[in-house]
Structure 1
Amino acid sequence: MDKIVMILAGLHDAEADLALAFRRVAGRQETDERTRRLCRTLAQRCDRCAGRVRRLAGRYDEELPDRGDSGALAAAADSLQQGLAALVGSRPPQELLLLRDLRDLHLKAQPAAVHLALLKQAARAVRDRELLDEVTGLDEEIRTQLAWIRTRAREVAPQVPAAPD
């Protein structure tokens, strides 16, 4: 069971990191209301997923720390940095920044997806139906997030060549 706890801890960290990444993107994409709002929503969903993982770890007598909304200050700093860059004129077009953010989100989501795949196999190996059901729900959540990231990137990519310099 120690291996399952290690996977749960890795998944918990991955979800907390992804929540922080979504909050940072929301802070940087302040002019894109749709992206900003959805990134905030997805950050909250990652927080809930991390809470579910903490409860699962409790079944194995392991207590994982609640990292909470640790990204609020980081998101504010990112937003300030973006504003300062705009003032001095060294800021790339917004569409290009959004594509960079989406790429980074996709990369941040990968550890969670890998940990979920590992956890799903471990749950099957130990025949823990409750763990498997919970992990399946978490897996659907990360797949939805990845699908949104890819879809949003496909929407934005054609706008980049037409963006003013």
Structure 2
Amino acid sequence: MNDGIALALRALHRGERNLAGKLERVADRHRAEHEIHHVATDLAGWSREHVRRIAATAADREVDLTGPAEAGDASDAVFAPHGNRSIAETTDALDPGLLLLRDLRELHLSATANSLHWEMLAQLAQAAKDPALLSLASACHPRTLRQTRWTNTMIKTMSPQVLTSL
């Protein structure tokens, strides 16, 4: 078993699980924003499906996804809170619009990180001539790209409204 494959599967499993949880929390937190609530709920379902597919692939390869992160695995760094607190993070209790922008930013960063991991897995699958891994990446990556496009579109749509009203 290639350690790189195990590392990529672990990073994707953690990242997709993390994104599904964030999408569910955002959907719940912003119930009044119907598009945010409904689309985030649907996108969380996509990430949960990715988690199941990654777990099945990992099980076929005897990769333990519950173990500790590999040495040198920096994938969790993408999901850690940022060191510098933004205006939105310091005033989110007061301004729901800023909270929404912060949430959308975090979703976008998480989805983008997952997209990069899917791309790395696809490249690894091609190099290893592994059709099962390539099939997994080919099936899941387009949905992750759709998640990033949605978050980007929502940021473009919401930021002028929110930021001009401050």
Indicate whether the TM-score tops 0.5: yes
**Residue number in structure 2 paired with 1:26:** 27
Structure 1 residues 161 and 126: alpha-carbon distance in aligned structure 2, compared to 1, 3 A threshold: closer
Question: Highest CA radius of gyration, 1 or 2?
Answer: 1
Q: Could you tell me the percent identity over the aligned residues?
A: 30
Unaligned runs of 5+ in 2: 67-90
CA distance in 2 between partners of 1:30 and 1:100 (Å): 16
Unaligned runs of 5+ in 1: 66-84
Matches within 5 A, 1:84-163: 90-92=93-95, 94-163=96-165
Does the 8 A contact of 1:7 with 1:118 survive in 2? yes
* Per-residue CA distance 1:50-108 (angstroms, 9 max, x = gap): 1011111122122435xxxxxxxxxxxxxxxxxxx99xxx511x322211111011112
CA distance in 1 between partners of 2:126 and 2:137 (Å): 11
Structure 1 residues 159 and 131: alpha-carbon distance in aligned structure 2, compared to 1, 3 A threshold: same
Stretch moving more, 96-105 or 55-64: 55-64
CA distance in 1 between partners of 2:159 and 2:113 (Å): 25
Provide runs of 4+ in structure 1 moved above 6 Å.
none
CA distance in 2 between partners of 1:122 and 1:103 (Å): 29
**Residue number in structure 2 paired with 1:39:** 40
CA distance in 2 between partners of 1:102 and 1:142 (Å): 15
CA deviation after TM superposition for structure 1 residue 9, in Å: 0.9
Matches within 5 A, 1:6-17: 6-17=7-18
Where 1:55 maps in the other structure, the secondary structure is helix
**TM-score (normalizing by structure 1):** 0.78
Structure 1 residues 126 and 26: alpha-carbon distance in aligned structure 2, compared to 1, 3 A threshold: same
**TM-score (normalizing by structure 2):** 0.77
Please say if 1:54 is aligned against 2:55. Answer: yes
Structure with greater contact order relative to length (CA < 8 Å, sep ≥ 6): 1
